[in-house]
Amino acid sequence: MSKFPYYEISAGQLIEFQRILAEAGFTPREVESIIKEPKLAKKMLQSIRATKPNNFPQFDQFLKDRSYQLAERRRLNRELPKSLRVSDSLFNNVDTTSDHYQMMEDCEILLVGLGDFKKTQKSIRELTKLTHGIWLSSQFQEDENKFCLHETAADYFYAKPDFYWLRINFMANWEPKDGRSVDQIWLKSAGTKLNVGSLGDAGFALQDSELRKKQNGEDIPYFDHADIEVKASGDGHSRSPYSRWYSDDRGVDFYSHDSDFVYGFYSAPALVE
């Protein structure tokens, strides 16, 4: 398809728009004709987004835009342990332009990747500690040194230190009626790189602090970290960590459990396709 300089929407939005028009039955030639008119294309994209189902509108008020998240992450950066900080000047170069409408099932979050999986994960827990307080169970601490990324986990943002804007669905893989296990998530998502369960914590740390306090497993599910696996030894079951808001002074609890355990109180956040 032709390239269009001076286009008024981002490359990612353009790809999204092309896909939506194709699914709606437009031919490639019709799609090209539409996107040659930037103002028309942008207006159509906004109208299409406005009709996207929002199943949890009661939480929209707690979701923050890029500018707020960047400012909050910059503030928290100064309070992190020195080994987990990035240079303050790097925050000056982060793009905050976006017309994305924030929803629980499609939310832009900021992740500061530190170039290493375990280091980035530690920074996420430290951010949660600063914003809400944390408690690490003995099982979580025992498993922590054996954490590895599951093969279905998104991982590109761990390899290179950088600032990443990610669109994630906080409610993905939530089956409150019948429940499901982490094993079932891994089976369902085989061949993909979409699981980012542990990044639910990173996302919630930069929203309104009241959002996390509404996480009770019923209105807002707890988070299975289905992107992380503790491989089983012998005939035992693999394990996976999870996090949940605990409604006393303890804050966010971090546990881990067998990956075949079935329950209905947890989602496993995933990238929006």
Asked if residue 269 lies in contact with residue 197, where contact means CB atoms within 8 angstroms, the answer is yes
Look up the pTM and report it: 0.82
Per-residue tens of pLDDT for the chain, all 273 residues: 334 333 445 555 566 667 667 766 778 787 777 777 767 776 666 666 556 678 999 999 999 999 999 999 999 999 999 999 999 999 999 999 998 999 999 999 999 999 999 999 999 999 999 999 999 999 999 999 999 999 999 999 999 999 999 999 999 999 999 999 999 999 999 999 999 999 999 999 999 999 999 999 999 999 999 999 998 877 678 999 999 999 776 899 999 999 999 999 999 999 997
Same domain, 80 and 15: no
Structurally, the chain folds into a number of domains equal to 2
Same domain, 146 and 91: yes
Asked if residue 132 lies in contact with residue 254, where contact means CB atoms within 8 angstroms, the answer is no
Same domain, 71 and 185: yes
Same domain, 160 and 134: yes
Asked if residue 240 lies in contact with residue 230, where contact means CB atoms within 8 angstroms, the answer is yes
Read off the amino acid at residue 40: L
Write out the two tokens for 31.
């799609």
Same domain, 181 and 205: yes
Give all strands (DSSP E) within 61-190, no chain letters.
Answer: 107-113, 134-136, 148-149, 162-169
123-137 in b/e form (b: 16+ CB < 10 A) is bbbbbbbebbebeee
